[in-house]
Structure 1
Amino acid sequence: MATAAVLTEVGSPLEVRDDVEVAPPGPGEVRVKTGASGVCHSDLSVQNGTIPLPTPIVLGHEGAGTVLEVGEGVTGVAPGDRVVLSFVPQCQECYFCKRGQGFLCEKSAMAAMGGMLDGSTRLTSQGGALHQMAMCGTYSSELIAPEISMVKIADDVPLKVAALIGCGVLTGVGAALNTADIHEGDTVAVIGCGGVGLNVIQGAKLAGAANIVAIDMFDHKLELATQFGATHCVKAGEQDATGVITGATGGRLADSVFEVIGLEQTMNQAIDLCRQGGEVVLVGVPRMDVMMHLPAAFTFLYLNKSIKGCWYGSANVNTDVPKLLGLYSDGKLMLDELISAEIDQDGINGAFEAMGTGEVARSVVVYE
């Protein structure tokens, strides 16, 4: 039996169950003992309905663990291997994977069904099926996931650190290194300095940005932003971001602006803070009914601004996970510092509340 934090209906607190049965892995699938799981804002977005998924469902999509058992045809991992889970499977065979856009893998569409690649489920509790978020469900002490949803890692990487790579780090650092076009000496603005925003900041630093302007409404987040590489901080609602940016550049707006919240107001702000010929990268997760309204002629034509979507940091996990872990090993990527609290499954609801008040960068569920 496994234990899992289960969302039974949208808007309700997660319920920790200790009767979860894990079916044997099917062809191409792997059974994993979860070592650690980050508590990501996207999990909260499922809980509050921003991201619609079927219930009951085991949340969690940012995790790492140890392989217990492999199904037929699995060749890339074996029992005892340590792995980072990817919430976007990358098959290496479809149109997008072959174009270097594995983050858009055609097989990832099944994640919206809350099951495996074939649409079926592998976890049961209280006599009924449990869905798994993004074919992961890392709030369970054991899980089944497709082989193409994991990357093997070295034995000396702490699982609580490796877990963060699976979403927040890949998304944030990838937004700066993969999605954006940051040049040495550029000025970058980051709106929203939670876990993903902090990783955008350190990604921008790695890319060579000279000025990194962090914008947030919480003082604690701005303090963290400075630790992660921000050169200027703006408290939203109290300070003028435009003035700070133009003051740093001698009158120009930002070369790249990252919106890491998902609100119409902050998306519009990102466009306003972007220089002519610059780029806006949309990283935050909006509700399905959020719309953007902007003057097309001046935004796109006369001012030549570009707006880029950013899904999973435009990451190709099989190359980007080792790359980021290499940067961590070399002391160039801050991962331990992202962990604000280590909790158990009973602490996940509290971690959701802490995210809303800006108290944490990342809470991490650590399994025994």
Structure 2
Amino acid sequence: MTHYVPGLVVRADGVPAAVEELRLPEIGPGQVRVRIRAAGVCHSDLSMVNGTLRPPHPLVLGHEAAGEVVETGERVSRASAGDHVVLNWQPACRSCWFCDRGEVWLCSTSSGVAALENGMTVDGEPVHVTLGVGAFAGEVVVPENAVIPVPAELDFDLAALLGCAVLTGTGAVRNTAKVAPGDSVVVIGLGGVGLSVVTAARAAGAAQVIAVDLAETKKGLAEAAGATDFVVSSDTLSKDIRARTSGRGADHAFEAVGRAATIRAAWRATRRGGRVTVVGMGAADDMVQLSALDIFSSARTLQTSVYGQADPDLEIPALARDVVAGTLNLSHLITDRITLADVPTAFDRMARGEGARSVVVL
């Protein structure tokens, strides 16, 4: 049976995304068909259309999503029809060198793929899907290892956030930086990921969490996420941070923007011997310059956190249980619930630094 669904398609660079009719591929062995119920608008999606990344076209956007399994192929044991699932945009093969070392977030078969073909077509032409998912669509067909069952009690819009923003931000704090009770933390960039870092840092026992953004309007969101301080970013940011941290700088700085300028700002805001964790994904030609002497004398560590350095199969269900139990509140992360046709407007808000997460509800 042929399935046609609406999807948000980018035809070429500079051409606005538009909702078009997509033809889903036939489901094969080891695959599942998922009806998308909610999908977050992530900064990585914006990067696909603003020139930061240069994916192939035509392209179906979206990767942070949750939905309901409607059909499974042969030899599928991970999920059944009716299951509520979060989509994993970087599923691990569990057999490559990195997976064997327990570094599933660096899996050789899934890392670094901005978009690929999966059999979906528009007007008979093959289309590419963002990060192997293409979640801004009514339904998707994905490999079995790309779905993670979660409790049915979990609302789909909150479940969607677990697949990228929340796992990335929480994992950066817990797994990569290993923030400890009493630490001081600065978070630069308060989108969905940055706000998730704020929440996770407070949950880890950080005594001080300084949230930084260009927009004064983010203060309320930062406080709802658990920030103890809010600073509007400026040329004096490092001085402002040191003034709030006994003149030393923060123990940890998290950069959730993906720009060389904010990476340098995070570096300068961190104390000697502190850690800078880059969570934002930037452009290939945006070069970060640091003094060789500064690198040596500051004794700081500069590191990245890919997908929260997490095993999604283990950590997404755990986060889902926390949300259902009421010990993890994500409601402040969603500032707009929208339709597929509203995604370009959500991109405009994101580019202006407004709000937290926009979530497409289908």
What's the TM-score bracket when you normalise by the shorter of the two chains?
over 0.9
Taking structure 1 as reference, are residues 112 and 351 closer, same or farther at Cα in structure 2, changes over 3 Å only? Answer: closer
Q: Decide whether the 8 Å contact of 2:153 with 2:324 is kept in 1.
A: no
Q: Decide whether the 8 Å contact of 2:242 with 2:269 is kept in 1.
A: no
Post-superposition offset of 1:286:
0.9
Post-superposition offset of 1:110:
7.5
Query: Where does 1:1-368 land on structure 2 (aligned, <5 Å)?
Result: 1-17=4-20, 19-109=21-111, 111-115=113-117, 121-237=118-234, 240-299=236-295, 301-367=296-362
Aligned length: 359
Post-superposition offset of 1:27:
2.4
Post-superposition offset of 1:220:
1.5
Unaligned runs of 5+ in 1: 116-120
Q: What residue identity is the alignment partner of 2:317? A: P
TM (normalized to structure 1)? 0.94
SS at match of 1:204: helix
Post-superposition offset of 1:52:
2.0
Q: Decide whether the 8 Å contact of 2:237 with 2:265 is kept in 1.
A: no
Taking structure 1 as reference, are residues 338 and 190 closer, same or farther at Cα in structure 2, changes over 3 Å only? Answer: same
SS at match of 1:327: helix
SS at match of 1:122: strand
Cα distance in 1 for partners of 2:355, 2:12 equals 25
Deviation string 1:243-273 (CA, Å, 9 cap, x unpaired) is 4433333222111101111111111111111
Cα distance in 2 for partners of 1:34, 1:170 equals 19
Instruction: Return 140-149 or 106-115, whichever deviates more.
Output: 106-115
Deviation string 1:161-189 (CA, Å, 9 cap, x unpaired) is 10111111111111111111211100101
Q: Decide whether the 8 Å contact of 1:220 with 1:358 is kept in 2.
A: no
Q: Decide whether the 8 Å contact of 2:8 with 2:136 is kept in 1.
A: yes
Cα distance in 1 for partners of 2:19, 2:306 equals 30
C-alpha RMSD of the superposition? 1.5
Cα distance in 1 for partners of 2:76, 2:19 equals 31
Post-superposition offset of 1:69:
1.3
Q: Decide whether the 8 Å contact of 1:135 with 1:146 is kept in 2.
A: no
SS at match of 2:109: helix
Cα distance in 2 for partners of 1:4, 1:190 equals 34
Cα distance in 2 for partners of 1:113, 1:243 equals 41
SS at match of 1:200: helix
Deviation string 1:201-221 (CA, Å, 9 cap, x unpaired) is 011111111011111110121
Taking structure 1 as reference, are residues 109 and 245 closer, same or farther at Cα in structure 2, changes over 3 Å only? Answer: closer
SS at match of 2:287: coil
Deviation string 1:77-125 (CA, Å, 9 cap, x unpaired) is 111111100111112222222322111112204834513xxxxx22111
Q: What residue identity is the alignment partner of 2:186? A: A
Taking structure 1 as reference, are residues 313 and 109 closer, same or farther at Cα in structure 2, changes over 3 Å only? Answer: closer
Q: What residue identity is the alignment partner of 2:319? A: L
Post-superposition offset of 1:333:
2.1
Cα distance in 2 for partners of 1:265, 1:241 equals 12
Q: Decide whether the 8 Å contact of 1:103 with 1:316 is kept in 2.
A: yes
Runs of 4+ in 1 over 4 A off after TM superposition: none
Q: Decide whether the 8 Å contact of 1:211 with 1:248 is kept in 2.
A: no
